[in-house]
Amino acid sequence: MKKWFAVIGDPIEHSKSPAMHNAWFEEMDIDATYIPIHVASHQLESAVAGLKTLGASGWNVTIPHKTAIIPYLDELDELAQKMGAVNTVVRTQEGKLKGYNTDGIGFVRSLEDAVGTTHKNKSVLLVGAGGAARGIAFAMQQQGYRDLTMANRTVANAQAIVDEMGMGRAISLQEAEETLADFSIIVQMTSAGLATGNFSMPFSLDRLTTEAIVADIVYNPLMTPFLQAAEEQGATIVTGLGMFVHQGAIAFEHWLGSYPNTNSMIAQLKAQLGGN
């Protein structure tokens, strides 16, 4: 029987997940489909019951439901539990709903696509301490990154994550700016300007070294002001597109047992988003 998958969120119209997963199903000759479903917060519980009753094999969860969905699931994997957020639900053989979070590992895969896996002992500066930053920090820790510093406008928010990880250091944005040359990998995860579309810089990159690797988790636009400034300084840049594609690929693997072709998907989406 044809399998079906979905992404639930509010808003949902702009999600690129349906086109991505449907393209993979076609490419890999898998008899399945993936649909976007608009679910408002007050409908979440009945939507989960409906997805279960109607036989969805799994689904993605996006804003604003990533944390709110947890009480309606039967189990969580370790990383989703630590993050307190789920972006992927799998219906197990026994009919149970298991929640995963593939965002953080998706970021690590994207970083490692660009720079390999030999950077685990290098100093990493994580900029931001919101939900996205939390996921990436835990995933980097789980994947063996050992030198993590988290900078945030509200230092106490970064300190809380560092305390929970039991490793790393929390600093202010000003200290990050002043000590930027000490870091090999810098990851921009604040939502500075996201809501207005008027992206702003959390701090100046004047002290960035040319050896630095600078990543942003935003992929639309591909080139954020942070990445633009980093490129002007001669650093290696990693856009948020790889993270988006890999988080989807890891979800796909949880559902169907195989890893889809991420390189060609990144190239296709990059062309759509105006990259070269």
What residues line the site for ligand ATR (CB under 6 A)? 128-133, 152-154, 157, 190-192, 200, 202
Q: How far is the CB of 85 from ligand ATR (least distance, A)?
A: 9
Q: How far is the CB of 29 from ligand ATR (least distance, A)?
A: 36
80 is in an annotated binding site: no
Q: Based on CB atoms, which residue is closest to ligand ATR, 168 or 202?
A: 202
Query: Closest-CB residue for ligand ATR?
Result: 130
149: left (phi over 0), alpha (psi -120 to 50) or beta: beta
Q: How far is the CB of 174 from ligand ATR (least distance, A)?
A: 11
Decide if 129 contacts 150 (C-beta within 8 A). yes
Residue 66 annotated to the active site: yes
Question: b or e along 69-91 (b: 16 or more beta carbons within 10 Å of the residue's beta carbon)?
Answer: bbebbeebbebbebbebbbbbbb
Q: How far is the CB of 234 from ligand ATR (least distance, A)?
A: 24
Packing angle of the helix pair 262-272, 241-256 (nearest 10 deg): 140
Compute the Cα dihedral for 209, 110, 120, 140 and give only its sign. positive
204 is in an annotated binding site: no
Compute the Cα dihedral for 23, 26, 29, 34 and give only its sign. positive
Report residue 3: phi and psi, to 5°: -90, 155
Q: How far is the CB of 17 from ligand ATR (least distance, A)?
A: 17
Distance separating alpha carbons of residues 159 and 152, to the nearest angstrom = 9
219 is in an annotated binding site: yes
Q: What letter would DSSP give residue 2?
A: -
Q: How far is the CB of 263 from ligand ATR (least distance, A)?
A: 26
Q: Based on CB atoms, which residue is closest to ligand ATR, 179 or 191?
A: 191
Decide if 202 contacts 127 (C-beta within 8 A). yes
Q: Based on CB atoms, which residue is closest to ligand ATR, 6 or 83?
A: 83
Give the angle subtended at the CA of 170 by the CAs of 169 and 176, to the nearest 5°: 105
Which is the catalytic residue, given 2, 3, 66, 82? 66
156 is in an annotated binding site: no
Q: How far is CA 179 from CA 138, 149, 202, 211, 244, in A?
A: 23, 11, 14, 15, 30
Q: Based on CB atoms, which residue is closest to ligand ATR, 157 or 233?
A: 157
Write out the E strands in 96-180.
Answer: 97-100, 123-127, 147-151, 169-171
87 is in an annotated binding site: yes
81 is in an annotated binding site: no
16 is in an annotated binding site: yes
Please report, in range form, the residues annotated as the binding site.
15-17, 62, 78, 87, 103, 128-132, 217, 219, 240, 247
So which residues are the catalytic ones?
Answer: 66
Please report, in range form, the residues annotated as the binding site for shikimate.
15-17, 62, 87, 103, 219, 247
